Structure 1
Amino acid sequence: MPSPVRHRSRSLPGALPTAAPGEVLVWTDGACQGNPGPGGWAAVICWEDGVVEEHSGGSPHTTNNIMEMTAALEGLRALPPGSRACVVTDSRYLHDGMTSWMTGWKAKQWRTASGSPVKNRELWQALEAATHTHEQVRWHWVRGHIGHPLNERADALAVAAVEAARAV
């Protein structure tokens, strides 16, 4: 199988992603009450045939960044191997990590530019491995809470998962 292709894609308000032919859109979001605190994640998968699948979960003690990363990871894991996907996130941390920073981290033995260990290394490595199970994974950043129904739905599911995690 060919190596996954990762594209950088930044959006301005109003410049929302559209699926290319044969591509699945995966809208993701994470939420946390306190940082750390109870957290939730969500992935809303939009298939080419119009079917929408929702996945979510949470943790009683986590961080917002971990939940953002988990949302993308679980969204990618929910796709059949060999899929073409566009992961849509409102997290610059997730987007920039996957499209810019990871190459440098790996070259520096998972150290940042300042020499510190990369935070959440295991999740970054799991995300990278998940992208390699697919033909292509494209990453697209959108500004959060701009009223797009799928971004708002992912947020609502993540917030509901926070409440469920709080009850654990």
Structure 2
Amino acid sequence: MELTGAIEALKYIKTNNIYIEVYADSAYVVNGMNSWVKNWIKNNWRKSNKKPVENKELWMELNDLVKNQASVTFLKVKGHSGNAGNEKADELANQAMDELE
């Protein structure tokens, strides 16, 4: 779901070639985009242990969306630590889940 959240956020932006900062409490997303994805692409979507990358299609979609912008920086924030934006995102996610029930 963390990957889907980042994907949907970037899809929502209708302007291309701008500078974007993505704040996430997911080390998986932040590390993936800041460190791992370049090597995965170079290694034909395989990790350093030669196993296939999990969620490859989602990573590919996120990477494609990033390429449409001048710059996308992924920044890690600590979850549930008082960061106003992160707290609001968590509140909205919980609200949406409640509405689905």
TM-score by length of 2: 0.91
CA RMSD, aligned part only? 1.2
Map of 1:78 onto structure 2: 12
The within-5 A match list for 1:27-46 is none
Which of 123, 136, 160 is the aligned partner of 2:95?
A: 160
Moved beyond 4 Å, runs of 4+: none
- What are the Cα deviations for residues 13-59 of structure 1, in whole angstroms up to 9, with x where unaligned? xxxxxxxxxxxxxxxxxxxxxxxxxxxxxxxxxxxxxxxxxxxxxxx
Structure 2, unaligned runs of 5 or more: none
The alignment partner of 2:21 has SS state of strand
Distance in 1 of aligned mates of 2:92 and 2:63: 24
Secondary structure in 2 aligned to 1:88?
strand
2 CA distance for matches of 1:163 and 1:110? 36
Shift of 1:163: 2.7
Distance 1:71 1:87 in 2: 11
Q: TM-score, normalised by structure 1?
A: 0.57
User: Percent identity of the aligned residues?
Assistant: 36
Deviations 1:93-148 (A, max 9, x none): 00000010111111211111112110000010000100111111111101111112
Map residues 7-156 of structure 1 onto 2, 5 A cutoff.
67-79=1-13, 80-156=15-91
The number of residues matched between the two structures is 100
* Cα separation, 2, equivalents of 1:140 and 1:71: 14
Counterpart Cα distance in 1 of 2:61 and 2:18: 17
Per-residue Cα deviation, 1:50-85 (whole angstroms, up to 9, x for no partner) = xxxxxxxxxxxxxxxxx1111111111111112211
Larger relative helix fraction = 2
SS of residue matched to 1:77 = helix
Q: Point out the structure with the larger strand share.
A: 1
Cα distance in 2, alignment partners of residues 107 and 147 from structure 1? 38
Q: Secondary structure, in 3 states, of the residue corresponding to 1:144?
A: coil
Looking at structure 1, the residues matched to 42 and 67 of structure 2 have their Cα atoms a distance apart, in angstroms, of: 18
